[in-house]
Structure formats: structure tokens, C-alpha cells
Amino acid sequence: MTRPHIEFIQSQALPWLASPYSGRFQGTETKTLSEDTESGAASLLIRYPGGYARREAEYLSVDEELFVLQGSLRINDQDYTEMCYAHLPAGFPRTIQTSDEGATVLTFLSGTPETESGDPPAGLYDPSRLVAHIDSLKTRPSNDLTKLGVEVTAEIEAGFVGFSFLLYREDPYTQDQTWMLSAPPLWQGGVVEIHPVVEEMYLVTGDMAADRGLMKAGAYFWRPPGMAHGPFGSKTGNLLFFRTKGGRLTTDFAAGADVFCWTPAPRPVLPPELEQYAQVPSDEYTNC
């Protein structure tokens, strides 16, 4: 993978641009959060206009993973409203795709998407990788963090009281995972974390104080494997959309309570093309 370390950017700072993709995404606008320059895999915000419609049989050449932030999108006979999730593998057959009112959708593509007409060729579409629809607002979360690969000792457990999560997906071949994590208000963690896999995050609601700055709703990062990060906290509580690349999440912990700060000044790590969109320090931050 050739994506740069991005930690973090507020997506509100990025401009909406005409979609670089044709076919399925024609007529939409996008914000590119990160992109693999070799494979074309990308993480984006996609804005569908009201009245968007495609009514012919077609399929995408790549996986499309989506989470609706606002509005609604209809694919085949399924409506995806606010906080609905799906993972549609390459070759997934589509007949109707519409958005009457428009939609803003957090979207992950496994490569440069080509829209092809008709039915997919034999062997492209693997239904074992399909997650057709999960409505987060109608799904009961879990508080058993061991399901996310966290070996919970008494000390670690004390720092994660009140957490819950929804595991949306684990790939049957790569074990890559996607989940939503929720931290309670006034949570303060006391540990530094390291993961052996890529960790990608979009902050859906709330805030999170971290070693790279104070993240608010719309914040995004792509963190390569093996990088120490934290400790973290949240005044308001939050919802955090996570993905891994390279397998299941596992975590090594180290003590870090002595370096936690509620109002950290921004210290973003950004590639040159994103530096102009970095969060600007203000009086809100004390750099403690």
C-alpha cells in the first residue's frame, strides 16, 4: 500500500470537487480523504445530488463500502438511510440506484472503479464477502472489547468503561475489519496504543482529544501499522467509524496517563497536497 500517513484532517476543510469517476459516480461530488497511488483504492466523502438516478443493470469492478452520513441512497430494493452500512463486493449486481433527496456517504473503494453494463463475469462476484445492509440505529451494540482483539486486563478495562461497538464486517479471507466505536462523555484514557495493521478512522459525532490534536466531527486519519498513538479522551462522547487493512485489530498498550491533555494543539501529519487544509491553532488549544 502506498498511502501516506494522514493524522489528522478535518474533512470540512477539503473542497467538494466533481467526481473523478464516471459511470456509477457520474454527477456526484467528492472529497478525497486518502488514496493509494498505485491501486487507486480511496477513502472519500461522496455527495449525491437530489434526483440522482441510474436505472440500468451494471456492476462495479471494485469493492464499494459505504456508510450514510446524511440523506438516503437506494440500491436495488434496499434503502440506505442515515447511519446505514453496506459492503458491496466487486461484481455486485445493481439494477436501480437512486437518491431522491440527495445523500452524503462515507465511501471506501478497493481500487479505481470502472462501471460495467450487464451481468458480472463468472467468478468476479463473491457473495461470501457481501454485507447487504446494517441499520446502526436498529442494531444493539456490544461492550465486549475482546471481539475487537483487545486483551482486556483489569487495568485496561478500567480505562474503557462505558465503551460500546458495532462490528459491521470481517473479511472472510483477509480478516480486515470495519466497526463503529462509541466512547462515553468525559472519558479519559490512560494508555498509548500500537497496532500491527493499518487503522483508519472517521469521527462521525462528538470529539476526541489525542496526541495529534483535538478532533471534532468530520476528522479523519489513515495510520500505518506500528505507530504509537494516544492517550485519548472525549468531553462530549463520540461515534468513531474504524477500518483495518492487513488483518484483524490487535493492540499493545503502554502507560500514558501522564501525557494526556484535554486541549492539545494540532500537530498534524499530512502529505504535501493536504498541508494547506491543516487545522490552524487557536486560543482553544493550550498545547498542554
Whether pTM > 0.85 for this model: the answer is: yes
Task: Label residue 161 by pLDDT band (50, 70, 90).
Answer: confident
| Concatenated DSSP letters of the chain | --PPPEEEEEGGGSPPEE-S--GGGTT-EEEEEEE-TTT--EEEEEEEPTTEEE-S-EEESS-EEEEEEEE-EEETTEEE-TTEEEEE-TT--BS-EEESS-EEEEEEESS---EEESSPPTTT--GGG-EEEEEGGGS--B--GGGGT----HHHHHTTTT-EEEEEEE-TTT--EEEEEEE-TTEE--EEEE-SSEEEEEEEEEEEEETTEEEETTEEEEE-TT--B---EESS-EEEEEEEESSS---EEEE-GGG--SSPPP--B--GGGGGGPPPP-TT----
Q: Return the pLDDT at 160.
A: 73
Give the confidence band of 143 by pLDDT, cuts at 50, 70, 90: confident
pLDDT per position as a tens digit, 39-55: 999 999 999 999 999 99
